[in-house]
Amino acid sequence: MAIVKPVDSYRHQGLRKLLVQNIRQKGIADQQVLNALETVPRHFFFDSSFLEYAYEDKPFPIGAGQTISQPFTVAFQTELLLIKKNDKVLEIGTGSGYQACILAELGAKVFSIERQKTLFDRTSKFLPVVGYPTIKTFFGDGYKGLPTYAPFDKMIVTAAAPYIPEALLEQLKPGGILVIPVGGNDVQTMTTIIKNADNSFTKKEYGAFRFVPMLEDKAKEV
């Protein structure tokens, strides 16, 4: 069955403007990031029966036990990445594809890995239909990164990582930034790792967030 592009009505656009105002008030200052959130129709990534939830600043289930991150969290992680046009960006945890579209809106070349086959299949078919054919999706284990396409200017992990995977550090360019929520299942600390020109690392922490866990076993056919 062909996938149909959902409608983006004036009502949706109006709700999106309000959501962006809300996120600005919560402290996101980067206008380019706010513009990207105003451009990408978040309701496209929701089941039609749950559309009314799309413009609340809340996470929401997307099936397979996973969630689309809270818009504030998407904005916060994106702001930390300091995306420049044509940056090569690796995302771990494609999920609905919403975060990947925000990165693409900012001019990034996006590579995104998902370990759950159902989500991978659904999202990789959906992204070209909603206008993001350049996002490259991969079915695999994010702990390993994407050696074939490395190195990356930026990396974003959108699941809770119990530790910082070594492969990601290796695949980051000097001058590159990794944004990753590190911690156990209950709460994680948003963390950035900058790879310096001499290949040393500088770590900074940005407070508590909650993500679904990054799962360590290899990619699963579920």
Per the structure block, which two tokens stand in for 214?
């990054």
**Amino acid code (one letter) for 185:** N
Give the span between the Cα atoms of 156 and 217, in whole angstroms: 20
Q: Does 158 bind ligand SAH (CB under 6 A)?
A: yes
For residues 16 to 55, the per-residue mask of contacts with ligand SAH, x marking binding by CB under 6 A and - elsewhere, is ----------------------------------------
Range in contact with ligand SAH (rule: CB under 6 A) among 8-16, 32-40, 64-72, 175-183: 64-72
- 40 forms beta bridges with none
Q: Does 93 bind ligand SAH (CB under 6 A)?
A: yes
Active-site residue, selected from the candidate residues 9, 49, 69, 96: 69
- Does the annotation mark 112 as catalytic? no
Q: Does 215 bind ligand SAH (CB under 6 A)?
A: yes
Which three-class secondary structure state does DSSP give residue 117? helix
How deeply is 137 buried, as exposed, middle or buried, from its count of CB atoms within 10 A (0-12, 13-18, 19+)?
buried
Give the span between the Cα atoms of 112 and 55, in whole angstroms: 24
How many other CB atoms are found less than 10 A from the CB of residue 208? 12
Q: Which of 54, 90, 119, 155 binds ligand SAH (CB under 6 A)?
A: 119
Which three-class secondary structure state does DSSP give residue 142? helix
What is the CB-side half-sphere exposure of residue 163 using CA atoms within 13 A? 4
Q: Which of 115, 122, 154, 195 binds ligand SAH (CB under 6 A)?
A: 115
* Closest distance to ligand SAH from the beta carbon of 30 (Å): 18
Q: Which of 44, 98, 152, 209 binds ligand SAH (CB under 6 A)?
A: 98
How many other CB atoms are found less than 10 A from the CB of residue 191? 20
Q: Does 169 bind ligand SAH (CB under 6 A)?
A: no
* Closest distance to ligand SAH from the beta carbon of 110 (Å): 11
The strand pair at 152-157 and 88-92 is best described as: parallel
Give the span between the Cα atoms of 74 and 90, in whole angstroms: 15
Nearer Cβ to ligand SAH (176/181): 181
Q: Which of 36, 69, 78, 171 binds ligand SAH (CB under 6 A)?
A: 69
Which residues contact ligand SAH by CB under 6 A? Answer: 66-69, 92-93, 95-96, 98-99, 113-116, 119, 141-143, 158-159, 212, 214-215
Active-site amino acid positions: 69
